[in-house]
A and B are shown apart, each in its own frame.
Chain A
């Protein structure tokens, strides 16, 4: 079953054409489906996540998908600091990397779209006052937000 309907695709194409500025690369860390199930290497949502991102990146010439195998491409895994799969690391030229662990389904898909938009435009949707105060940050901050897809 296709994850995005034809109507979704048409809407997203229009939205991307209007909103995207800089190219955005979506790095997907996944694992190839294998005949043997290796304990500890299962990734039930990897195939769907890959399909969703393949469909999504096909909708705009400014979106690029790069796929990595989590278990064999360890150098890339370390470069991007990926700890588990499926992992989606989004980046634009000169931008920080935004990371998403798990399949971005349901409401989280909207979050992913907003992130793509923000990266592509190089600005966050935050208030000016907030952005000013964030510039004062002088210690490393790692924010993890736990969500469920509903």
Chain B
């Protein structure tokens, strides 16, 4: 996904090697995905479901600019 849009960055974290970080995000099962610290889910999602979660965080309706030319 990071390849498709420069605003997306992706890290893989080996949970056992970084227990403090894993604890911070309450990782009790893997794979666990955390998006911008706001959306979290455990387990593998379909591509479509995963995309939905990413859009939830990464897409905002552009504010209406009115009729400025």
A: which residues have CB within 8 A of B?
44-45, 84, 95-104, 108, 111, 118-119, 122-124, 126-127, 130-131, 133-149
Contact = CB atoms under 8 A, between A and B. Distances in A.
B16 A96 contact: no
A139 B59 CA distance: 6
Contacts of A139: 7, 57-60
Interface in B13-46: 13-18, 21-22, 25, 27, 30-36
Contact of A147 (B4, B15, B48, B54): B15
B59 A108 contact: no
Interface residues of B, number: 39
Contacts, number: 152
Given A124-B1, A134-B1, A141-B35, A102 B51 contact: no
B69 interface: no
Given A133-B55, A141-B8, A96 B22 contact: no
A148 B7 contact: no
